[in-house]
Amino acid sequence: MGSRGHVPQRRCAGCGRRSAKKSLVRFAAGGDGEKKIIVIDPGGTAGGRGVYLCPRLKCYDEAAGRRKALQRRLGSAGLEAGLRTEFARLAGCGDNRSQDARTLPGTAPADSNHSHR
């Protein structure tokens, strides 16, 4: 009898929810030399430290805004201007802040029993 095996878990830097790694969006520090920028790593293949977020604009806004978790954890001075727009495009919800419940294609929907902060 086969078992399901280990499913890697990661914590969302926006809401703190633990989820399967495959259901989260990974951000990584990219760039060369002194100029580090934060990029979305959809394949999860970029080297180095990564930060994970639920595929919700609400979580992105928390992690990039008030909490500054993306900048702090990736050692970057700031975010590129179009990063939120790119995240929203991947999530399929445009740049509309009221549509934060949509998820990225290919990721599991958020647990309806879990409330995001």
- CATH number of 52's domain: 3.30.1230.10
Is residue 44, in this structure, part of any structural domain at all?
yes
Looking at per-residue confidence, does 39 or 91 come out higher?
39
pTM given for the model = 0.73
Reduced to 3 DSSP states, what percent helix, strand and coil does the chain have, rounded to the nearest 5?
20, 15, 60
Band of pLDDT at residue 36, cut at 50, 70 and 90: confident
Is residue 27, in this structure, part of any structural domain at all?
yes
Band of pLDDT at residue 3, cut at 50, 70 and 90: low
Is residue 110, in this structure, part of any structural domain at all?
no
Cα-Cα-Cα-Cα dihedral sign, residues 66, 71, 77, 82: negative
What is the number of structural domains in the chain?
1
Is residue 47, in this structure, part of any structural domain at all?
yes
Band of pLDDT at residue 26, cut at 50, 70 and 90: very high
**pLDDT value at 86 more than 50:** yes
